[in-house]
Chains A and B, each alone.
Chain A
């Protein structure tokens, strides 16, 4: 069966420090991968998505970047964190290729607090 791992679960970082959040998927190949952010009192916002290794698309301009060095690995990064980067970050996947009616699965999330 497929599983998705996301770490760390919580993170407290000072303003201006770098960030690296990692997500890996097991039990599938060539998944579509997504990073969402959930801010307090707001819905989930799509940040990045990837349909393959090295292929990253950004939904909103921001202080963050994403990379996909391996088929089932998705990394969210920042060189210098801002207070506004605080939030709950969720990684998700669904089946890639031409299959469009597939279920999406989410990781357990990372609570990031920038102080």
Chain B
């Protein structure tokens, strides 16, 4: 069974810092990996999708990398802002198993960026 781990569980930084959030998964047989943002009491907002054949994806100040063979992904946030405060979730989509399209999630990193 796929296990997804996110480190750290929580992070508190001053505004302007560059951040790295880590995600690891136990089974490298994946179609893709997706990073989400969740604000308190809200649903998940998709940030970046990395296909298994890709090494990284970028969107604005966000950059996600994927090392499929070692089962790792990182989310890099440049020049953090208070509006980046949220919980960041990593999820992988296995390429085997009977449940079509299901995602396996980590427990998230709760990020607080203070002014």
- Cβ contact of B106, chosen from A32, A43, A105, A108, cutoff 8 A: A43
A32-54 CB mask vs B (1 if < 8 Å, else 0) is 10100000011110100101000
A104-B42 CB under 8 A given contacts A42-B107, A43-B106, A43-B107: no
Chain A interfacial residues counted at CB < 8 A: 26
Closest 8 CB pairs of A and B: A106-B44, A108-B43, A44-B105, A109-B43, A32-B101, A106-B43, A43-B105, A103-B49
A51-B100 CB under 8 A given contacts A43-B107, A106-B36: yes
A51 to B34, CA, bound (A): 21
Chain B interfacial residues counted at CB < 8 A: 27
Check if B32 is an interface residue, CB within 8 A of chain A.
yes
| Total A-B pairs, Cβ < 8 A | 63
Across-interface contacts of B100 in A (CB, < 8 A):
32, 49, 51
B54-93 CB mask vs A (1 if < 8 Å, else 0) is 0000000000000000000000000000000000010101
Q: Which residues of A come within 8 Å of B, CB atoms?
A: 6, 32, 34, 41-44, 46, 49, 51, 57, 59, 90, 92, 94, 100-109, 111
A12 to B100, CA, bound (A): 32
A sample of 10 inter-chain contacts (CB < 8 A) reads A43-B105, A43-B108, A44-B105, A49-B100, A49-B102, A90-B43, A102-B101, A104-B91, A106-B43, A109-B43
Beta-carbon contact of B42 and A109 below 8 Å: yes
- Cβ contact of A49, chosen from B36, B41, B49, B99, cutoff 8 A: B99
A32 to B107, CA, bound (A): 23
